[in-house]
Amino acid sequence: MAETIAAPVSNPVSERSPPAGRKQVDSALLNNRLVQVGAGIILILTLLAIAAPTLTRIGVLHEPIHQDTNGLDADGMPRPPSAHYLLGTDNLGRDVLSRVVYGARVSLTIGTAAMLTATLIGVTVGLVAGFYGGKLDLGLMRFTDMNLSLPAILLAIAFAGLMDGKVVHLHPAWLHWSFLDIRLQRGMVSVFLIIGFVCWPGMVRVIRGQVLSIRERDFVQAARALGASDARLISRHILPNVLPTVIVLAAMNTANTIMLEAGLGYLGIGVPPPAPTWGGMIADGQPYFIAAPLIVIAPGLAIVITVLAFNLLGQGLQEALDPKHHP
Amino acid sequence: MIAAQFPTRPGPGLKAPPRARHLRSQISNFRSLTHVGLSPNHGLSQSRGADAPIRLLRLDRSMRARASALRGRPLLVVLAIVVLAVWPARVRGGNVTEPRRGGTLRLSMPSDLRSLDPAISYDEDSTPLTKLLFRGLLDFGKRADLVLDQASDWKISPDGKTYTFHLRPGVRFANGRPVAAQDYVFSFERVLSPQISSPGRDFFLCIAGAPAFAAGKAAHVSGLTAPDARTFIIKLRTPVYTFRYVLALNFADVVPRDVVRKYGVDFQYHLIGSGPYKLAQWRRGVRWRFVRNPCYTGSDGYVDAVDVMIGADNTTATMMLERGEIDRVLASPAEAIRFERTPRLRSWLVRANSANTDYIFMNTEMKPFDNVLVRRAVNYAINKRRLLRLTGGFDTVADGIVPPIMGWTNSSLPRYRYDPEKARALLREAGYPNGFNTELWYMVDLPILARLAEGAQQDLQQVGIQAALRPVNGTTFNVKSGTRHQIPLGVYGWFEDYPDPGNFLDVLLNGEHITETDCNNVSFYNNPSVNHLLDTAVTCLDQEQRLRLFRQAEDLIMTDAPWVPLVHEQVPILYSPRLRGTAPDPVWLWRWERMWIDP
Amino acid sequence: MLAHFLTRLFWSALTLLATAVLVFFLVNAVPGDVARVIAGPKASPAVLQQIRKRYHLNDPVIVRLGYYLLQLAHGDLGHSFVTDQPVAQALLTRLPVTAALSAMAVVLWMLIAMPLGVLTAKYAGSWIDRGALVAATLSLSLPAFWLARMLQYSLAYKLGWFPVAGFHGFVSLLLPGITLALLFIGYYSRLIHTNMVEVLDSPFVRAARAKGASEAAVLFKHALPNALIPVVTILGMDVASLLGGVLFTENVFALPGIGKLAVQSVFNLDVPMIMGTVLLSATAVVTINLVVDLLYRWIDPRIKQAC
């Protein structure tokens, strides 16, 4: 499930001294079949997502939210696959293929944005906890544990429940600064923030562990003895050394965030319609599933392929950046 | 009552199969109300001849969606009558066999019911199950005619205000105690009691002394008396003709007063009534099980037990039905079509018509929908024929407010035909040459309404109205739509409680019923002329006259255009082939105790 | 040992308390008139007022939190807003199904992941290993709700090997269990694989080989038990994600478990029930981690203070 994926990288990158053999890593990266396949799929998906509007303009794809009058037969049943609709139509007469392709825009955007949010939080917490240790470390780690003990999807559902059009005033009532009113409603932004806020705890433990060991290494101690500030120590010495781990975790976390986005869409609390989302397509297509299985199978396969690509990439990165583990 | 239940509808489509078209033509035969003997004495007959084409349609159908447990449904009081036509739905060949006893009926529901307490139960799955446990004085027969149930005779005084019943001797509750007239007094008062918040309360407010009791100002309802254990007398404040139908609803079913007093609110876990079955098990959100009531003496109640599992969504339930794991599913539109197109499965499908209207409402108190030109533009902008296909294609386009299946005709309809050019012209005239932005709200848990909303959004876009979709859950929608200045534009549905045009026009569009919250008039439409027409019609006993008044009101409403009526739904039901007696019940769509299992 | 146990217990309790507070704030920020949810649409203003008073809905959130924690301290999880059923009772009636389903899934996936992990470790780097790696990655890329639907359709509806849905004892848990297992086999087979590779490289395995133990004995008797020790910890940590999968699986297969209850309560805005399901899952995770921690120490006394 969603969160499982982060855990396998219990020690994804072996500790290395600062002058990482960059060339070596580069070639290991490029030669790793998993990286090739994963990155290749992601590249194709990204290109497709970017090109989707153009493809629509030149007539290869249909408008994803357009309810085609010919998209339903006389009884209102979706059309089976044909030359015009390669994957058939959905329950509103919309082209399934177009929706799947446009769905990649939503999924990849939200997945990436949420991954960045989660990484930002996760890395910060991990760095701070590992670097400063003591009470701060204890508190942060307990907070992380607490978040880990809740199923991410349940937490995301609870967050999503907040997004019901309520307006939050970020200014005192007597000031009428309406530009500081935030409307809590479901959209791309709220969904990626929710997922970002839910997905970070998985990263913390690994980052912290690395920071703990790097902190004690000679070159860090030497820099400290020379009077380097904490900020400098973190930014110049520690961060560069955890970066490979962060990249591996980020790739795998993207798989998580995309899966979670699909889950929220499936439960009807993702990006609202008519935007094409894979999870939403599966949910909306279910009543048509037995009669027209493609409506559900197609977006499901899209999820599988995308998540698989990110997982393969993460797996490959881990191998390439950690030659010790996989000779 | 509001809105639809999860599954959905098909029915005769645009290019409907011959059989379906046949159904449609039968409706039109019964369209006229004039031959519906409405004179009081006719109405009293306890059973009509089999040839009588006139029926009361379904009284009660509401939404049962995922959140059914709390879905609210505004309630309506309707003081009038129209008996209506129900077309004989398809009858399966198997129905000719004689009913036999035995077997277990296995049902499935997507989510649990709020309660089967007869004072609380009020939706299409609850009512037939409530009727397994509870019975009352009158019941609806197979032709929606009123028949005596646990009363041996009844009499209505010439002034139409006093109902006198004598109870059938030997009727006992499932715990063995005989039913007494005092139990009826208690049961009726319970529905009116301020502690219960019964959705059926308004049906009983026409009883003498009921308003005072409901307001907590009287200890008893003066109009309810039991001179002896077998005689029950009801006195009304005004001669409300429709009250006799209320007596066949589950709200009028009898509960044992000693047991209810003993358990209080926990009575819902210890349900005991005088029906053919008794409650064997209720695990919240998991399952219900009903077994025979040994004290029941009636002839119905053929299966030995009824087992209801909770939690399977519609797709899952359809697979279960086909694999023989359950006996009934409310079909999704696609499934209904698939069953119809598959020869082996065709006979599993039964279509039942419902008196309902799904509609877009425009809040006439909110900009820009306070402008009648904008509202008319929206009416011209919506392509209802296209929407019809999005919902499964077999419903009918709604031209007016009141469903024609109620026997309703209005020659001035349809008022608006799809014409995007005209819509744009009206928007220009209204001062919105480039259209405007607004929000279109709907309930995410009712897929039919959701589909209608998504379809309507595209139509609006084509005339320049950018409506952002606002899918919310049922509770939020019900609360928000009933509150002033909340929802500018929304999609909603209404199912009749009573076969009367007033159930739609007066309940939903009379400006005098506007309240700050919990308002059924979700357009907050208030036209004094319409209000006056409706007020007059509701209290009028001359059928011709009141129908004329209702028609005038509908005309005015369509001119003011607070709604875009979209479609009237049809309910496709799939039954396992081993189940017999599945022809749609004209009132409640199905009556489990009248079905039997073919071995 | 005892001191350590007590420390862990203390932290577990604190974690749960913090979870309760966090979730309380989250859930109580959910819009919607709770009083109306409780009373139903026909309730009079007086009744609504009464309910607001009874559930302290007019008080500030912080005061309500106080009431809630006080109630929790008495072991009372409250009553459902929608059905008025005690939350604890609802959870207890559903726990066995979820527990049985989870247990079955764990057993199924471990039974498959163990030989798979051992085999791929033995032939590390070969095409078998690479193929298994890709298959494993595929397994953790499957959306639970989609896989459940696909298996239900093909194996139950089309082929009729299993019941489609519903709960009628053990048989009903088979297909949902297989679904969940499929989602986790990949991950655990790789985990065991990685540990096995390390263990196979260790001196004591070489010693065992030198003593002339058979290959099967080396793999399964000497190496595997050692490779499994870290897996136990991960298993404990994975309870939360397992519950995430259970949530979707139960909904597709209409199993009356905690996951089904959680989704229903969210759609019903049933605040106490949402709180109950979240707290239950948090408790399960914390308890299982505590047990795993102790177990771990018992299995491998060398570990002193790793955390």
Domains and CATH numbers, chain A: 29-68+81-325 (1.10.3720.10)
Q: How many A×B Cβ pairs under 8 Å? A: 95
Residue A46, pLDDT score? 93
Task: Report the Cα A199 to chain-centroid distance in Å.
Answer: 9
Are B316 and C165 in contact (CB < 8 Å)? yes
The mean-pLDDT minimum among A209-218, B103-112, B551-560 falls in A209-218
Least confident range from A309-323, B172-186, C146-160: namely: A309-323
Tens-place pLDDT, residues B110-122: 888 878 999 988 7
For tokens 């309660």, the residue is B115
Interfacial residues of A (vs B; Cβ cutoff 8 Å): 65-67, 69, 72, 74-78, 91-93, 164-165, 185, 268, 272-274, 284, 286-292
Q: What is the mean pLDDT of residues C158-168?
A: 91
In this structure, whether the domain defined by C87-306 belongs to CATH 1.10.1140.10 is answered with no
Nearest chain B alpha carbon to C265: B67
Q: Does C94 touch chain B (CB under 8 A)?
A: yes
User: With contact defined as beta carbons under 8 Å apart, do B441 and B477 qualify?
Assistant: yes
Strand (E) or helix (H) holding C174: helix C170-200
For residue B428, what are its two tokens?
């220009």
**What is the reported pLDDT for A171?**
66
C273 Cβ under 8 Å from any chain B Cβ: no
Contact C260/B283, CB-based, under 8 Å?
A: no
Average pLDDT, chain A: 80
3-state secondary structure chain A: CHHHHHCCCCCCCCCCCCCCCHHHHHHHHHHCHHHHHHHHHHHHHHHHHHHHHHHHHCCCCCCCCCCCHHHECCCCCECCCCCCCCCCECCCCCEHHHHHHHHHHHHHHHHHHHHHHHHHHHHHHHHHHHHHCHHHHHHHHHHHHHHHCCCHHHHHHHHHHHCCCEEEECCCCCCCCHHHEEEECCCHHHHHHHHHHHHCHHHHHHHHHHHHHHHCCHHHHHHHHCCCCHHHHHHHHHHHHHHHHHHHHHHHHHHHHHHHHHHHHHCCCCCCCCCCCHHHHHHHHHHHCCCCCHHHHHHHHHHHHHHHHHHHHHHHHHHHHCCCCCC
d(CA A306, CA A191): 18
User: What does the alpha-carbon distance between residue C33 and residue B100 come to, in Å, rounded to a whole number?
Assistant: 49
Query: Using CA atoms, how far apart are residues C26 and A150, in angstroms rounded to an integer?
Result: 13
pLDDT the model gives residue B555: 94
Q: Distance between CA A129 and CA B363 in Å, rounded? A: 54
Predicted confidence at residue C38, as pLDDT, reads: 65
User: Cβ A76–B393 below 8 Å, yes or no?
Assistant: yes
Q: Rounded to 5 degrees, what are φ and ψ at A93? A: 80, 20
Whether B537 contacts B80, CB under 8 Å: yes
Other CB atoms within 10 Å distance of the CB of residue A85: 23
Q: Which residues of A touch B338 (CB under 8 A)?
A: 290-291
Chains contacting A (3 or more CB pairs within 8 Å): B, C
C237 touches chain A (CB under 8 A): yes
Q: Is it the case that residue A225 has pLDDT exceeding 70?
A: yes
Mean per-residue pLDDT, B505-516: 86
Contact: B15, A273; criterion CB under 8 Å: no
State the average pLDDT for chain C. Answer: 83
Is B494 strand, coil or helix? Answer: strand
Q: What is the pLDDT of residues C72-88, one digit of tens each?
A: 888 788 888 777 788 89
Lowest pLDDT segment from A67-71, A187-191, A310-314, C152-156 = A67-71
* Candidate from C31, C32, C164 with C-beta closest to B323: C164
Those of residues 273-302 in A touching chain C at CB distance below 8 A are 279, 282, 286, 289-290, 293, 296-297, 300
A62, A65, A66, A67: best to mutate for the B interface, most B CBs within 10 A:
A67
d(CA B588, CA B121) in angstroms, rounded, equals: 13
pLDDT band at A167 (very low <50, low <70, confident <90, very high): low
Rounded CA-CA distance B533/B587 in Å is 29
- Say which of C30, C150, C194 has its CB closest to residue A161: C30
Q: How far apart are CA B225 and CA B234, in angstroms?
A: 7
Indicate which of B451, B452, B472, B480 best probes the interface with A, i.e. most A CBs within 10 Å of its own CB.
Answer: B451
The pLDDT value recorded for residue B33 is 25
Q: What is the pLDDT of residue C238?
A: 81
Locate CATH 1.10.3720.10 in chain C: 87-306
Question: B305 near B593, Cβ under 8 Å?
Answer: no
Please determine, for residue C189, whether its predicted confidence score (pLDDT) is greater than 70: yes
Residue of chain B nearest C81, judged by CA positions: B70
CB contact under 8 A, C285 and A148: yes
Predicted pLDDT of residue C66: 84
Which of C263, C267, C269 is most worth mutating to test chain B (most B CB atoms within 10 A of its CB)?
Answer: C267
Q: What is the mean pLDDT of residues A170-178?
A: 67
Q: Does pLDDT of A22 surpass 60?
A: no
**C72 reaches B (C-beta below 8 A):** no
CA atoms within 13 A on the CB side of C235: 24
Residues of A in contact with B455 (CB under 8 A): 67, 92
What is the per-residue pLDDT across B15-66, written as a single tens digit (0 to 9) for each?
222 222 222 222 222 222 222 222 222 222 333 222 222 222 222 233 333 2
pLDDT in tens, B533-569: 998 887 777 778 888 999 999 999 999 999 999 999 8
- Residue with tokens 């906890």, as numbered in its chain: A129
C-alpha distances out from residue B507 to B77, B342, B520, Å: 8, 42, 7
More confident residue, B14 or A278: A278
Determine contact, residues A152/C244, Cβ cutoff 8 Å.
Answer: yes
What pLDDT is attached to residue A157? 74
